[in-house]
Structure 1
Amino acid sequence: DFEASFIRLIDKVTNGSRIEINQTGTTLYYQPGLLYGGSLEHDCSPSRGIGYYLESLLCLAPFMKHPLKIVLRGVTNDQVDPSVDVLKATALPLLKKFGIDGESLEIKINRRGMPPKGGGEILFACPVRKVLRPIQFTDPGKIKRIRGTAYSVRVSPQMANRMVESARGILNKFLPDIYIYTDHMKGVNSGKSPGFGMCLTAETINGTILSAELASNPQGQGAAVLPEELGQNCAKLLLEEIYRGGCVDSTNQSLALLLMTLGQRDVSKVLLGPLSPYTIEFLRHLRSFFQIMFKIETKTAEEEHMGGEKVLMTCVGIGFSNLSKTIR
């Protein structure tokens, strides 16, 4: 269901794609078209979060013919996919590092939607670029501040404050500069299901952003979660992510590697924490599609003086340039 919705979304952003699926739905024949872009709307399936769709759009958006401006409707925050908040806080600064920036790069949350019914709405806009610049991003730097959002929809607004208090209880031991916004959406902006959760981001002096998030159990599934516990666990997850370290957090590893691959014929380096299973599979796909191999050097915790093992990824871009971008 959500996969069919994803295929429809890909069909919307491209021009001239041929997609055939057999009766049993086990094989998919796909002939890609041109990435077209433009202003679009799409209703995502409520069984997966908008993050699932947005992740792949982030990979494609810079290479469209026209700047992409798309309204996605569905579940903004769930327990499976990276939420829109996290992608807004981490993926956008990452795109800026590669030279995809400007006022038209934004993710805006108009309405929140929690599972199972959804009802959220976001706007994603991204400019097009002809070439990407290579990056040397090997020193994450020390953490200077923590920001976050605690949101609650269709529950008491106090829930958000309770989460903030318990998260600060843990994080205040490490640094004073912590600010967690509370976001309580009312009325039509709160979607169709009750729920709450929080998203925390830690920013370093060199502009690295690491994030963690948690959401409450969907209505009617699993035991009720105490907001205090959720706040504490979210803070612990953020500390775990900081321990893993690297210049890109674990949700955006694959996006960074893809943009490095598609860069100019120049060397790009990035320092990552331990590779997630998804990233490892993704590297295999990069090898089969682009015939590109990364040089992978492991840095032990002793060399780096902190956190878990790090991996230094180096590659030479394939020199991809966006041929469909209209020249004005």
Structure 2
Amino acid sequence: MVVMGKAAHMRLQGGKHFRQRILLSTLSSVPIVITDIRSDDTTPGLLLHEISLLRLVEKISDNCIIEINETGTKLRYKPGVIMGGKHLMHDCGLSQGIGYFLEPLIVLALFGKKPLSIKLKGITNDSRNPSVDTFQSTTFQMLKRFGVPDEGLMLKIENRGIPPLGGGDVVLRIPIIHSSLSAVNWIDEGMVKRIRGTTFSNFISSEVEHQTRKATRGIFNNFIPDVFIHTDHRSGPAAGRSPGYGISITAETTSGCFISADAIVSRGAKLDNFEEEEDKMPPETFGIHIASILLGEIEQGGVVDSMHQGLLFLLCALCPQDVSKVRVGKLTPYAIDTLRNIRDFLGVKFIIEPDPPTNTVILKCLGCGLKNLSRKLS
């Protein structure tokens, strides 16, 4: 810890875990100082999407303080009051997809003074972040498990946008929780009972979508009859600024779990920091590829897919001082980092118990008891 002025700041180093540090700092009201942010890199300092995230947090907060030195290698951040708000707008840029911003934004908005309504502009589907489709089909279902009200929870895709030029627009609405989240005992994975999905194409033949959908369904129909994948063919402004196609699929289980996977193919010139592994696959192979990814997620077990482990643990940690118990598959590096950051900022430690017969892991924690105090402020 370092004392700057009258407020005690947590001192951190390096550019790793930036998004989580800002999120947890805001939730815990702990000011932070981060030094040596990529100080040894050829392009030192904060990245464009990290600066954009700070501006987004500033946009939904009141009285937060953000100070960045000239080189961008040092940040002082003092959280403010989460306000929420209506008719807000934020350009997420092109260096990360909108999914990068959605996870912290949704969690913060739950603890706001007022419900949040915001339009986000940028990349709706990419290979580095959960797509906006995944947030619609899966993330929102997980939030409901923790007592987030269904009324007022919405994510509407107005325009799709893929790398490299984006052009997407989504409208996000998040209600506030009036006291706190609800602890969960969530270890029953259930059996897959249906699969739903969406294929999309921007500025290319809709036949590509049909070939992808047919190949994907061909794999799943070997296991389950209830498979429906609809198409979303777009042109003009609704298709953004880059040609390509993609798919998002979700498996729903008998116990109400939702397991997702998504992927895209960009037909535009690629930015250096985007690596679309699927860009040379024919649609049939691409469809088989995404089906295999989802089957792999199902096989590894757990009540959420690997993309949602970190968010699951964060929601458990934010619950009242009651025990939450969840089951996941093999812990991802991001999830492990999340557990460490939760410990450092919230003081919440998880008990981790491997379950060898199922090759899954059961985690238990006592929530920190975070309450939405912002809504009581005048």
| Paired residues of 1:99 and 1:133 also in contact (CA < 8 A) | yes
- For structure 2, list consecutive stretches of 5 or more residues without a partner in the other structure: 1-47, 271-275
Q: 2:151 aligns with which of 80, 85, 103?
A: 103
> In structure 2, how many angstroms separate the alpha carbons of the residues matched to 1:242 and 1:65?
38
Shift of 1:164: 0.2
Shift of 1:326: 3.8
Give the letter for the 1:108 counterpart. Answer: K
What secondary structure is seen at the aligned counterpart in 1 of 2:169? strand
Shift of 1:218: 4.9
TM-score by length of 2: 0.83
Whether 2:376 is the aligned partner of 1:320: answer no
Give the letter for the 1:78 counterpart. Answer: D
Match of 2:354 in 1: 298
What secondary structure is seen at the aligned counterpart in 1 of 2:340? helix
Q: 1:10 aligns with which of 37, 41, 57?
A: 57
| Paired residues of 2:242 and 2:266 also in contact (CA < 8 A) | no
Match of 1:169 in 2: 218
| Paired residues of 2:49 and 2:92 also in contact (CA < 8 A) | yes
> In structure 2, how many angstroms separate the alpha carbons of the residues matched to 1:312 and 1:10?
33
Give the letter for the 2:103 counterpart. Answer: E
What secondary structure is seen at the aligned counterpart in 1 of 2:320? coil
Aligned identity (percent) is: 43
What secondary structure is seen at the aligned counterpart in 2 of 1:162? helix
Deviations 1:167-195 (A, max 9, x none): 11111111111000111123221111101
> In structure 2, how many angstroms separate the alpha carbons of the residues matched to 1:228 and 1:27?
48
Shift of 1:152: 0.5
Deviations 1:99-132 (A, max 9, x none): 1023200111111011111110001111101211
TM-score by length of 1: 0.95
Shift of 1:327: 8.5
> In structure 1, how many angstroms separate the alpha carbons of the residues matched to 2:77 and 2:174?
25
Whether 2:246 is the aligned partner of 1:197: answer yes
State the Cα RMSD in Å: 1.4
Deviations 1:260-290 (A, max 9, x none): 1111111111111111100100100001011
Match of 2:68 in 1: 21
> In structure 1, how many angstroms separate the alpha carbons of the residues matched to 2:71 and 2:301?
43
Whether 2:202 is the aligned partner of 1:153: answer yes
What secondary structure is seen at the aligned counterpart in 1 of 2:134? helix
Match of 1:209 in 2: 258
> In structure 1, how many angstroms separate the alpha carbons of the residues matched to 2:175 and 2:117?
9
Shift of 1:47: 1.8
Whether 2:315 is the aligned partner of 1:259: answer yes
Q: 1:1-328 alignment to 2 at 5 Å? A: 1-39=48-86, 40-129=88-177, 130-221=179-270, 224-300=280-356, 302=357, 304=358, 309-326=359-376
| Paired residues of 1:66 and 1:326 also in contact (CA < 8 A) | no
